[in-house]
Amino acid sequence: MMIILVRHGEATHHTQRLTGGWTDSQLTEKGRAQIKAAAVKLAKDFAGRNCKLRILASDLQRASASAQIIAEELGFKGEIEHCRFLREKNNGIAAGMTEEEAKKHFCKPASEQELDHRNYPGGETRNEFYRRNVHGLWHRADVDKENLLIVAHKGTIQNIIFRWLGMDMQQVAAFNFSVDVQPASVTVLGINKWHEHAVFRLNDVSHLTQGKGFGVFEFKYEK
């Protein structure tokens, strides 16, 4: 079995300086091209294989459109399962606002390790977000036995990876742990021959960087 995690491509909230979260932004032309490149490369993996696969996607437009592009490239004959539980973290009243507007409503946590703090009125805490993603997916699918392709968001994919590695949010906070998940990146999880939960590929954007380096200087390092 395998779980393929794909983050949606660049979306209009990135280019229009809107908040992310539950803002229902759409893919930009660049974002569609990014996902098309990922889909073409994934299609090479699936070519000639009779692989039973389910495709699950967040119901927000930027993710559902990304899933449709991938499904078409793979020649997927089933139905894409649009799942509200795969949405990004709920940012409450900040959804749809510009980043400047949202700053007026932002409630700063006492520390970055806060798990039950709401950044915006009506939004989710980190614990609530994690539980929604994890409980939803583990209830919807047999993650240890099915082949799944999941198209979602940075935070959602991070939560799935944390759970796959056996970590709850308390452990994530205690270890100050994270993984980067860039737009249109591909991550592959699976159970290896030693019956371990493995991360076979993480945040792969090689389909976007032909002829370039590893992007060592493009990550969001602490200043």
pLDDT, tens only, 64-103: 999 999 999 999 999 999 999 999 999 999 999 999 999 9
Instruction: Please list the residues that pair with 199 across neighbouring strands.
Output: 189
What does the pLDDT read at residue 158? 98
pLDDT one-digit tens code per residue, 146-159: 999 999 999 999 99
Which residues define the annotated binding site for substrate? 62
Closest among 103, 11, 15 to 58, alpha carbons compared = 11
Establish whether 8 is a catalytic residue: yes
Going through the chain in order, the beta strands assigned E by DSSP cover 2-7, 54-58, 81-83, 148-152, 186-191, 197-204
Query: Which of 10, 73, 88, 124 is labelled catalytic?
Result: 88
Which residues define the annotated binding site? 62
What does the pLDDT read at residue 220? 75
What does the pLDDT read at residue 41? 95
Q: How confident is the model at residue 212 (pLDDT cuts 50, 70, 90)?
A: confident
What does the pLDDT read at residue 72? 98
User: What is the rounded average pLDDT of the residues 49-67?
Assistant: 96
Assigned token pair, 75: 């020649």
User: What is the rounded average pLDDT of the residues 48-63?
Assistant: 95
The whole-model pTM stands at 0.95
Q: How confident is the model at residue 50 (pLDDT cuts 50, 70, 90)?
A: confident
Q: What do you get for the CA distance between the two ends of the chain, in Å?
A: 40
Q: Are 122 and 95 in contact (CB under 8 A)?
A: no
User: What is the rounded average pLDDT of the residues 114-135?
Assistant: 98
User: What is the rounded average pLDDT of the residues 174-182?
Assistant: 96
Q: Is the pLDDT of residue 123 over 90?
A: yes
Asked whether the CA dihedral 13, 173, 125, 5 is positive or negative, the reply is positive
Rg (CA), the chain: 17
Establish whether 112 is a catalytic residue: no
Assigned token pair, 57: 């996607």
Query: Which of 8, 13, 153, 207 is labelled catalytic?
Result: 8
Q: Is the pLDDT of residue 217 over 80?
A: no
Helices (H), 85-179: 99-103, 126-140, 154-164, 169-174
Q: Which CATH superfamily groups domain 2-9+27-89+107-187?
A: Phosphoglycerate mutase-like (3.40.50.1240)
Our CA angle for 150, 24, 19, nearest 5°, is: 105
Euclidean distance between CA atoms 147 and 168, whole angstroms:
23
